[in-house]
Structure 1
Amino acid sequence: MKNLLILGAGTSGTMMANHLVSKLPKSEWQISIVDQYKTHYYQPGFLFLPFDIYTTKQVKKNGKKFIPKGVNYVQEEIELIRPEANEVDLKNGQTMAYDVLIIATGSKIVPEEIEGMSGPEWHKSIFDFYTYEGAKALRNKLREWEGGKLVVHITEMPIKCPVAPLEFAFLADSYFKNKGMRDKVDITFVTPLGGAFTKPRATKTLHYLLEEKAIKEVTDFNIERVDYENNKIIDYADQEVSYDLLVTVPTNMGDPVIERSGLGDDLNFVPTDKATLQSQEHENIFVIGDASNIPASKAGSVAHFEAEILTENILRYIEGEPLKEEFDGHANCFIETGNGKALLIDFNYTHEPVEGTFPFPGVGPLSLLKESRTNHMGKMAFRWIYWNMLLKGINIPFVSATMNEKGKKLEEVS
C-alpha cells in the first residue's frame, strides 16, 4: 500500500482530499490528511464579520464533515517534515511515511514581526481581521466606536487576498454612512505599494473609488514600528500616520513547520514550480494554496484553480508521465465596494485585470472591472458555493481553471 499524505485541512488540503479520493485506487493508495484544528473557517467571511454582515456561525463549521470517506483524518500538530526520509513527524510522537506529499499548510499573520504591533494594544485599538479572533474582536469594537481616525494598513506583500484591505476600507465607508456617523470618521488607506493594488489596471479603478468615497491614500509606506503609546505608525523614512483605530494586515508567513523543516524561503513559503505546482527541490512533494511562493494571489479562487491542475499532475507523477505546465496564475476575485455593489477582476501571470464579461464572453452575467449589484450578489453567493461545492471538490460550471481570454480587452503584464 502506498501513501499520499496531505498536510493541512484548510481550503486547499480539503479540496485535494476530495479531488483525489475518487481517482486513486483504494486497493493501492491510502490518502491521509493531517491538521491540528477541529474548526474549518470560511476565511473570506472574516471581512464581513466586523460589520455584522455575517454572524460567527456563518464562517465556521466542523472541519471533519468535509473530509471524504476513505480518507484517514489525523487531528494532530505537525512537528517536522523530513523529505530525505519521506516521513513526517507529528507532535504526539507518531511518524507518517509518504510516497507523495501535498503541502497545504497555508499562511498565518505574524504581528510580532513589527515592533509594537502585537503589544498591549493588540485587539484593543490595534486589530486584524485575517483571523477569526481578530475579526470578532473588531466587530465588538466597531459596535461601540464613536469615531475618529480609522487607518486601514498593509504591512508588506504578499498577503492572503490582496484586495481584502481595500474591501475593508470600502465597507467601513458604507458601514459608517449607514450608522449616520460617516462625518465623524476619517478613513485612511496605507499601503507599501505604489498604488491601491498590485496590478496597474485595477489600481486605476480602485484609486478612483477611494477618491469617490473620500478615503485618503498613503502609498509607499514601509512600516518600521507601531508607536501604540502615541497612536502612530512610523515607516523607515520617518513618515508618520496617526490613528485612533488601526486595522492592520500584519506580515503573512508560511507555517512554522516549513521553517523547522528547512523547506521555505525567508517568509516560510515553499519554493514551487509556478506552472506544475511541484516542489522545486523534491519531486514527490507538491504545494498548493498559500503555502507556496508562486507569484499568484493567495486567494481561495486561486487554490480552487490550482487544485484542478494539481490533481491531474499528481496522477501523471504516479504514472511516471511528464507533468503539465498548465497553471497560469489564474485569479478571479470579487471586490466589495460597499453600498451593495462589487467589482469583479479576472487575471493571471501574464494578463492584467481586464474589462469584459464573465463567465460567458459578451453575455456575462457578471461584468469585469465595473461596479454592479450583480457582482455583489455573486460575492454573497460564494459562501454557499464554498461550503457546498469548492471544499467538496466540485468544479464550478463554466469557470475554467486557466484564464479564458475570449471577450476580454486583454493587457499584458509589463
Structure 2
Amino acid sequence: MKNLVILGAGTAGTMMANHLVKKLPKNEWQITIIDQYKTHYYQPGFLFLPFDIYTEDQVKKVGKKFIPKGVNYIQKKIELISPEANKVTLENEEIINYDLLIVATGSKIAPDEIEGMKGPEWHKSIFDFYSYEGAKALRDKLRSWEGGKLVVHITEMPIKCPVAPLEFAFLADSYFRNKGMRDKVDITYVTPLDGAFTKPKATKALHHLLVEKGISEVTNFNIERVDYENNKIIDYAETEVDYDLLVTVPTNMGDALIERSGMGDDLNFIPTDKNTLQSKDYENVFVIGDATNLPTSKAGSVAHFEAEILEENILKYIKGEPLDASFDGHANCFVETGNGKALLIDFNYVQEPVEGTFPIAGIGPMQLLKENRMNHMGKLAFRWVYWNMLLKGVPIPFVSANMSTKGKKIEA
C-alpha cells in the first residue's frame, strides 16, 4: 500500500482530499491528511465579521466533517518535513512516511515582522482582519468607535486576496454612512503599490471608486515601523501617516513548518512550478494554494482552480505520464464596494481583468468590472458554495479551471 499525505486541512488540502479519494485506487493508495486545528474557517467571511454582516458561527465549522470517508485524518501538529527521506515528523516524534506529498499549509499574518505593529496597542488601536481573532476584535471596536482617522494599510505583497483591503475601505465607507457618522471618519488607504491593485485596468476602476467615496490614497508606502505611542505609521522615506484606528494587513508568510524544513523562500513560500504545481526541488512533492510562490492571487478561487489541475497531474504522475495539465493562474474575485454592490474580476497570469460577462458568455448573469447588485449577491452566495460544493470537490457549473476568454472584451 502506497501513502499519499496531505499537509493542511484548510481550503486547498480539504479540496484535494475530496478530489483524490474518488480517483485513487483504494486497494493501492492510502490518503492521509494532517492538521493540528479542529476548526475550519471560511476566511473570506473575515471581511464581513467586523461590520456585523456575518456572525461568528457563519465563518467557522468543525473541519473534520469535510474530510471524506476513506481518508485517514490526523489532528496533530506537524514538526518537520524531511523531503529527502520522504517522511513527516509530527509532535511526540511520530513519523509518517509518504510516497507522494501535497503541501497545503497556507499562509499566516506575521505582524511581528514590523517594528511596533504587534506591540501594546495590538487589537486595541491596531487591528488586522486576516485572522478570526483580529476580525472579531475589530468588530467589537467598530461597534463603539466614535470616529477619527481610519487608516487601511497593506504592509507588503503578496497577501491573501489582494482586493480584501480595498473591500474593507469600501465597506467601512458604507458602514459609517449607515451609522450616520461618515462625516466623523476620515478614511485613508495606504499601499506599497503604485496604485489600488496589481492589475492596471482593475486599478483604474478601483481608484475611481476610492475618489467617489472620498477615500484618500497613499501609494508607494513601504512601512518601516509603527509608532504606536504617537499613532503614526512611518515608511523608509520617513513619510508619516497619522491614524486613530489602524487596520493593517501585516506581512503574509508561509507556515513556519516550511522554514524549519528548509523548503521555502524568504517568506516561507515553496518554489513551485507555476503550471504543473510540482515542487521545483522535489519530484514527489506537490504544492497548492497559499503555500506556493506562484505569481497569482492567494485566494480560495485560485486554490479551487489549482485543485482541478493538480488532480489531473497527480494521476498522471502515478502512471508515469508527462504532467501536461497546466494551470494558467486563473483567479476570480468578487470585490465588495459597499451599499449592496460589488465588482467581479476574472484574470490569469497573462490576462488582466477586462469587461464582459460571467460565467456564461453573452448571458452572464454577472458583469465583469461593473459595479452592481448581482455581483454582491454572488459574493454572499459564495459562502454557501464554499461549504457545500468547493470544499467537497463538487464541480461548479460553467466555471472552468483555466480562464475562458469567451464573453470577455479582450483586446488584440
Q: TM-score, normalised by structure 2?
A: 0.99
Aligned mates of 1:135, 1:411 — CA distance in 2: 40
Q: Report how many residues are paired.
A: 412
Task: Kindly state the Cα deviation for residue 407 of structure 1 after the two structures are TM-superposed.
Answer: 1.9
Given that 2:159 and 2:252 are in contact with CA atoms closer than 8 Å, whether structure 1 keeps it comes out as yes
Given that 1:346 and 1:368 are in contact with CA atoms closer than 8 Å, whether structure 2 keeps it comes out as yes
* 1:187 aligns to 2:184 (yes or no): no
**Once the two structures are superposed, what CA deviation does each residue of 1:219-265 show, in whole Å capped at 9, x if it has no partner?**
00000000000000000000000000000000000000000000000
* 2:263 counterpart letter in structure 1: L
* 1:147 aligns to 2:170 (yes or no): no
- What does residue 273 of structure 2 align with? 273
- What does residue 198 of structure 1 align with? 198
Task: Kindly state the Cα deviation for residue 406 of structure 1 after the two structures are TM-superposed.
Answer: 1.2
- SS of the residue corresponding to residue 149 of structure 1 reads strand
Aligned mates of 2:86, 2:206 — CA distance in 1: 46
**Once the two structures are superposed, what CA deviation does each residue of 1:85-126 show, in whole Å capped at 9, x if it has no partner?**
000000121100000000000000000000000000000000
Given that 1:30 and 1:72 are in contact with CA atoms closer than 8 Å, whether structure 2 keeps it comes out as yes
**Within 5 Å, which residues of 2 pair with 1:322-333?**
322-333=322-333
Aligned mates of 2:321, 2:411 — CA distance in 1: 34
- SS of the residue corresponding to residue 329 of structure 1 reads coil
Given that 1:151 and 1:188 are in contact with CA atoms closer than 8 Å, whether structure 2 keeps it comes out as yes
- What does residue 240 of structure 2 align with? 240
Aligned mates of 2:203, 2:75 — CA distance in 1: 42
- What does residue 301 of structure 1 align with? 301
* 1:378 aligns to 2:362 (yes or no): no
- What does residue 390 of structure 1 align with? 390
- What does residue 6 of structure 2 align with? 6
Aligned mates of 1:155, 1:411 — CA distance in 2: 33
* 2:336 counterpart letter in structure 1: E
- What does residue 224 of structure 2 align with? 224
Aligned mates of 1:40, 1:410 — CA distance in 2: 38
- What does residue 169 of structure 2 align with? 169
- What does residue 116 of structure 1 align with? 116
- What does residue 38 of structure 2 align with? 38
* 1:87 counterpart letter in structure 2: K
Aligned mates of 2:391, 2:262 — CA distance in 1: 29
Aligned mates of 2:298, 2:47 — CA distance in 1: 15
Given that 1:352 and 1:410 are in contact with CA atoms closer than 8 Å, whether structure 2 keeps it comes out as no
- SS of the residue corresponding to residue 92 of structure 2 reads coil
- What does residue 315 of structure 2 align with? 315
- SS of the residue corresponding to residue 269 of structure 1 reads coil
- What does residue 85 of structure 2 align with? 85
* 2:84 counterpart letter in structure 1: E
- SS of the residue corresponding to residue 135 of structure 1 reads helix
TM-aligned CA distance change 1:334 to 1:161, over 3 Å: same
Task: Kindly state the Cα deviation for residue 347 of structure 1 after the two structures are TM-superposed.
Answer: 0.2
Given that 1:354 and 1:411 are in contact with CA atoms closer than 8 Å, whether structure 2 keeps it comes out as no
**Within 5 Å, which residues of 2 pair with 1:343-362?**
343-362=343-362
Aligned mates of 1:324, 1:66 — CA distance in 2: 29
- What does residue 62 of structure 1 align with? 62
Given that 1:82 and 1:261 are in contact with CA atoms closer than 8 Å, whether structure 2 keeps it comes out as yes
Aligned mates of 2:158, 2:282 — CA distance in 1: 24
* 1:289 counterpart letter in structure 2: G
- SS of the residue corresponding to residue 234 of structure 1 reads strand
| Structure 1 residue ranges (4+ consecutive) displaced by more than 2 angstroms after TM superposition | none
Aligned mates of 2:212, 2:222 — CA distance in 1: 25
Alignment identity in percent? 81
**Once the two structures are superposed, what CA deviation does each residue of 1:364-403 show, in whole Å capped at 9, x if it has no partner?**
1000000010000000000000000000000101000000
Aligned mates of 2:259, 2:292 — CA distance in 1: 13
Given that 2:312 and 2:325 are in contact with CA atoms closer than 8 Å, whether structure 1 keeps it comes out as no
- SS of the residue corresponding to residue 36 of structure 1 reads coil
- What does residue 264 of structure 1 align with? 264
* 1:368 counterpart letter in structure 2: L
* 1:178 aligns to 2:178 (yes or no): yes
Aligned mates of 2:213, 2:257 — CA distance in 1: 42
Aligned mates of 1:395, 1:114 — CA distance in 2: 41
* 1:283 aligns to 2:315 (yes or no): no
- What does residue 71 of structure 1 align with? 71
Task: Kindly state the Cα deviation for residue 81 of structure 1 after the two structures are TM-superposed.
Answer: 0.2
Task: Kindly state the Cα deviation for residue 325 of structure 1 after the two structures are TM-superposed.
Answer: 4.5
- SS of the residue corresponding to residue 157 of structure 2 reads coil
Gaps of 5+ in 2: none
Aligned mates of 1:170, 1:325 — CA distance in 2: 38
Task: Kindly state the Cα deviation for residue 411 of structure 1 after the two structures are TM-superposed.
Answer: 5.0
- SS of the residue corresponding to residue 93 of structure 2 reads coil
Aligned mates of 1:324, 1:218 — CA distance in 2: 43
